[in-house]
Homo-oligomer: A and B are copies of this chain.
């Protein structure tokens, strides 16, 4: 609890009005007054401020419901831009988001594998600077950069503690990228960025609580409660990859036996398949599955059981309003989706209500870029910084 002084309340109200316009645009002053229970005079004053500062603009006169005419308010898309970066093994996506949250530009670039972290960050910085130039954006209109990557990230210090996929350990990614670009940078786990995008514009839109499960190069969980990430004390909440699911199973690189990550990641599936056929991708595995080869049928049956069990266990443990499934293993292969849906029916029992099912992620390839840009906007933009 803390005391609220006038300056604080004034800024809060301004932010509140801006958020209302963002989520319901275009909107009339009268509607804002109704939602906030503030006087018409207060709203007019706040709106005037926001217009002067370049955040809001008036739209054409439009018919507002039953024959009335109202001058509506909208967000100025050019008020502020944020850059979203989605970095993974050998690949990087860079996107630009305007102040209406529209990602109007995105490019995908391949990168050398196994280069030093500083090289990767330099490469990203150059691509970002080039993109900003090419898109003709004014540097003072750029709030900052959001970087999403696989691994354990300390979002408050900007340090990537550990990323198996990138081979990074204790890299101050935010600091380095800030130095190379001159813009403020936030870094976070890519699954959290994805969850953010799905929460704001996808499958979990403004849900009270959502849990996003990702199955791809790794397996992980991102949790959003009341609009905020639930991170746990050490930023480890949802590190489901090392949850023990089979005490008689395979040994994990971490030393333990039967971690979920030994079964349901792309690499784990390829490693299991390689006992039968020398394949290098899940895509090839699906080929063998579709030819009804017994080993492939059995392998995917087992993987589907563990994915289904993981879904149900997350429903019991977190009991979210919405559970979202994402990641290439599920998003790219209808065969696996179908199997998981069949197995899921075997894993649901009272007291989990049958209506508490899952949804698939909706934003596809641009989700992490979008979430990273949104997170940068939310974190880096405030009225003080202008």
Contact = CB atoms under 8 A, between A and B. Distances in A.
Interface of A: 1, 3-4, 12, 16, 36-38, 152, 161-162, 208-209, 221, 225, 230-240, 242-248, 252, 254-256, 305-306, 309, 312-313, 315-321, 346-347, 349-353, 356
A221 B320 CA distance: 16
A3 B237 CA distance: 34
A318 B318 CA distance: 9
A351 B321 contact: no
A317 B237 contact: yes
Contacts of A309: 244, 247
Nearest to A152: B351
A319 B351 contact: no
A316 B162 contact: no
Q: Work out how many copies of this chain go into the complex.
A: 2
Q: Which of A1, A232, A312 has the most CB of B within 10 A?
A: A232
B239 A351 contact: yes
Nearest to A306: B247
A347 B256 contact: yes
A235 B319 contact: yes
B316 A347 contact: no
21 contacts: A3-B37, A161-B351, A208-B233, A209-B233, A221-B317, A225-B230, A232-B320, A233-B319, A234-B319, A236-B316, A236-B351, A237-B316, A237-B317, A240-B316, A243-B317, A244-B312, A246-B246, A254-B350, A255-B349, A256-B347, A317-B317
Given A247-B246, A256-B349, A356 B316 contact: no
A60 to B, nearest CB: 30
Contacts of A3: 36-38
A352 B244 CA distance: 13
Contacts of A305: 247
A328 B259 CA distance: 29
A349 B248 CA distance: 17
B356 A234 contact: yes
Contacts of A351: 152, 161-162, 234, 236, 239
A16 B2 CA distance: 10
Q: Which of A225, A233, A238, A256 has the most CB of B within 10 A?
A: A233
B316 A243 contact: yes
Contacts of A233: 208-209, 319-321, 356
Given A4-B4, A247-B306, A234 B317 contact: no
Listed from nearest, the 4 A-B pairs whose CB atoms lie closest are: A232-B319, A237-B319, A254-B349, A236-B319
Contacts of A255: 349
Contacts of A346: 256
Contacts of A238: 316-317, 319
A100 to B, nearest CB: 22
A244 B225 CA distance: 24
A245 B236 CA distance: 21
Given A351-B152, A351-B161, A351-B162, A318 B237 contact: yes
Contact of A313 (B4, B244, B352): B244
Contacts of A347: 244, 256
A234 B353 contact: yes
A363 to B, nearest CB: 23
